[in-house]
Chains A and B, each alone.
Chain A
Amino acid sequence: MVSTLFADAAEVRRRLDTVGYLVDEGTATALYLSAVLHRPLLLEGEPGVGKTSAAKALAEALATPLIRLQCYEGLSAGEALYEWNYQRQLLAIRLTETTERRLTDADLFTEEFLQDRPLLRAVRHRGPLPPVLLIDEIDRADDEFEALLLEFLGEAAITVPELGTFTAPRPPLVVLTSNRSRELHDALRRRCLYHWIDFPTPERAVEILRRSVPSAGEPLIASAADFVGRVRALELDKPPGMAEAIDWVAALSALDVSRLARRDVLRTLSTLAKSPDDRVAVADALDDLEHAREAAP
């Protein structure tokens, strides 16, 4: 019953730490329980908070392949589960016609003609450790695809009518992410553990920036983390996430900025504010933001 992957939640935290992904206790517990209980984990949170990176880091920490399925409307079984290689099948038919051999169904529907798509690839993966399957932005797919996922999420099995049911020897670690642009169906939620990732606390944000942009200096990182926190409190169309913060500090660092100055902020604002309105809002609030920063010790 107890997973051999991780001993406890603290170990998840430690091992993700070694690959440069810092998690809080909640996320570590969620990942650990998902591994122990063999349940898919549904991660939600504001954009840019590190949902996708959590799955990537998990795969890296376990040194196991990451299989990724990007969702979109109209995603069907042929793109998510498996597809027969029809061209090769038709070719095989023509070839046998020339040799006057008899051809049966069983000759055409073999694994030779089966094309794995991400879900089947995760099920058929042979290796010492189960792969990490990332089903990214599930809210972009439609209801039909959610229904298609149910057998896989519940049983870690995929049925190919012509061949039979494939069951994973070790159930893959499944991470689903959603941006909540659409309400997911209850049947899907029921099959998953659920975790809401919050923006990291300022201390952890500093730590994350330090890891992601090693070239940036300490004072720059501290003031940038503080600044991003304040920008997030403004009324913006799209508040900057952790990803934007990392981009911004990397940009500042690439421009050899060691202390945050107004000119540098304006120069690199496009990495933080992603719409014209936001750009204006941040630029307008720049003075207030700086005053607040001066006032704070």
Chain B
Amino acid sequence: MTPGAGAPGPGSALLPAVDRAAFAVALAVRLREHGVPVGLTPVQDLVRALGAAPAPTRTQLYWTGRVCLVRDRDGLAAYDTVFDAVFGDAVLPADPHARRKGLDTPPAEQGSHEPAPGHSAGGQDGDGLPWVTLPAAVTGAGGPEGDERVALPERLPSALAGLADTPFGELSPRDTALLGQWLERSLPVWPTRRSRRYAVGAGGTRIELRATVARARRTGWEPVRLVRAGPVSRPRRVVVLCDVSRSMQPQAVAYLHLMRALALSADAEVFAFATTVTRLTPVLAHRSARAAVAEAEARVADRFGGTRIAASLRALLASHHGGLLRGAVVVIGSDGWDGDPPAQLAAAMARVRRRAHTVIWLNPRAAAPGFTPGTATMAAALPYCDALLPAADFASLLRVPAAIARASRHPRGGVLTRPGAHGYSAMSLCVLACSISRERPLRRSTGQMTSGWPTGCVPVCHRGCRDRRVALSGPIHRR
């Protein structure tokens, strides 16, 4: 299967008089330059492997090096590039995987050993946002980092709280960054799920034999007190999908900050999509928010183009990341302007729905007064969502985690509606979808939160849904 098996080199090995250690280290250094993390153990492995089995052909050297040095599939393409750059003028990479990759990655011949583009954030560090088509409110890209540091002490929480209600499009990039940091610090506790791992604890359901017998030693081998074990709770996995198409341009940076906050505090898996899906989890986990967001923007190749929500969801479900959606809280951030036919989106959402525990849709336009989710796309997606939440400013973003936590406590029945604040529940979404499909004008509820729920949501579970439906179609008055 491997073409280009090189002719045997002089002597028995390909590299007769070469210092194996120096060779392995040099190869590892080149790989690191291409962004592949190569530790000391793999280098040691390669030296030992070459000692145990000197590679007489190029192909064998290729496989030996690949098996020893690369510990992740993501590094395979970079390895092929480096290997070809080092070992001369091969036209085709030896490996079918690399050949597939080769179509969209630049050939190795051009870049001698420069780092691959996209692995270095150096280009963006100086000048902030890497594109030029932003509206005036968002361009300008803030001052250099120095400014930010100087400005920090003046930004008291009260000032931030005021800014939190400003729509994303009207914020300066510096305010966006500051609010992003604030968001990271303010995320509340995340919803949990019961895992299958058991741990010793009071009130557990199982008798832990090992601990019970260990304890019985103290009482002459008489198990006087039974030790119990109960299931451990884990944070529920969160998968965030964020639309970065043209129509979402003002919100893109703010959503990246939300994704970063979730990735850091809730171990979320985050993806950006417009026409294709890009995984941003490792990028956004960078320590510096600024570097992380800049790198994420550089990583997304198709930002500010058209939107293909259905195709992107299908691609995500088909990829090996599709398994991440199982039992997870899936958060989709999009305005619902889709280039794909609504029927396709409905099919894709149905599949997401079957895999996920909770599906939440964030829509920046839902905050506008008089908003009804009337686009064909939103109408198609609504029956599969547990909640539709407004997300047009940082204050509403900050309410999202609490709302999600509540939705996952009452899956399928939880209601996140805040009358007058444009959140919709699972049940009300169905009602909405019905009423939209019947093309009847939908009367919206107005007024403020009804009682003292912290984020202004009115929780209703299964039994209350019927009543809530009535409430939704009529006004809820201020108490």
Q: Which residues of A contact B (CB under 8 A)?
A: 1-3, 8-9, 24-26, 29-30, 32-33, 36-37, 39, 42, 44, 46, 72-74, 76, 78, 83-84, 86, 89-90, 93, 103, 105, 142, 144, 179-182, 186, 189-196, 198, 200-201, 204, 235-237, 277
Is chain A's binding surface mostly helix, strand, loop or mixed?
mixed
Tell me which residues across on chain B come within 8 A of A33, comparing CB atoms.
45, 49, 52-53, 64, 67-68
From B195, B213, B317, A89 is in contact (CB under 8 Å) with B213
B44-65 interface (Cβ within 8 A of A): 45, 48-49, 51-53, 59-60, 63-64
Are A198 and B53 touching (Cβ within 8 A)? no
From A30, A73, A93, A201, B67 is in contact (CB under 8 Å) with A30
Closest to B71 in A: A189
Known: A9-B60, A86-B210, A182-B324. 5 other contacts (CB 8 A): A26-B2, A29-B60, A33-B49, A74-B196, A181-B320
Interface flag for B133 (CB, 8 Å): no
Given A74-B197, A93-B221, is A180 in contact with B2 using a C-beta cutoff of 8 Å?
Answer: no
Interface flag for B97 (CB, 8 Å): yes
Given A103-B221, A181-B320, is A25 in contact with B2 using a C-beta cutoff of 8 Å?
Answer: yes
Are A142 and B197 touching (Cβ within 8 A)? yes
Complex CA gap A61/B73 in Å reads 28
Complex CA gap A29/B54 in Å reads 12
Tell me which residues across on chain A come within 8 A of B289, comparing CB atoms.
none
Are B67 and A25 touching (Cβ within 8 A)? no
Shortest A75–chain B CB gap in Å is 8
B197-217 interface (Cβ within 8 A of A): 197-198, 209-210, 212-213, 217
We find that the number of chain B residues with CB closer than 8 angstroms to chain A is: 46
Given A76-B197, A189-B71, is A29 in contact with B323 using a C-beta cutoff of 8 Å?
Answer: no
Tell me which residues across on chain B come within 8 A of A90, comparing CB atoms.
213, 221, 223
Given A74-B195, A194-B72, is A235 in contact with B63 using a C-beta cutoff of 8 Å?
Answer: no
Complex CA gap A30/B67 in Å reads 6
Tell me which residues across on chain A come within 8 A of B60, comparing CB atoms.
9, 25, 29
Shortest B35–chain A CB gap in Å is 15
- What are 19 A-B pairs with beta-carbon distances under 8 A? A2-B53, A3-B52, A8-B53, A29-B67, A37-B45, A73-B196, A76-B197, A78-B210, A86-B210, A179-B323, A180-B320, A186-B71, A190-B41, A193-B68, A195-B67, A196-B73, A196-B76, A235-B314, A235-B318
Complex CA gap A277/B347 in Å reads 10
Interface flag for B66 (CB, 8 Å): yes
Tell me which residues across on chain A come within 8 A of B53, comparing CB atoms.
2, 8-9, 32-33, 36
Tell me which residues across on chain A come within 8 A of B33, comparing CB atoms.
none
Interface flag for B1 (CB, 8 Å): yes
Complex CA gap A121/B305 in Å reads 57
From B49, B73, B209, A37 is in contact (CB under 8 Å) with B49
Tell me which residues across on chain B come within 8 A of A89, comparing CB atoms.
213
Are A191 and B317 touching (Cβ within 8 A)? no
Are A44 and B63 touching (Cβ within 8 A)? no
Closest to A236 in B: B318
Interface centre among B37, B53, B196 (most CB of A within 10 A): B53
Given A9-B60, A204-B1, A235-B314, is A194 in contact with B71 using a C-beta cutoff of 8 Å?
Answer: yes
Are B76 and A36 touching (Cβ within 8 A)? no
Shortest A36–chain B CB gap in Å is 5
Interface flag for B70 (CB, 8 Å): yes
Tell me which residues across on chain B come within 8 A of A8, comparing CB atoms.
53
Tell me which residues across on chain B come within 8 A of A37, comparing CB atoms.
45, 48-49, 52
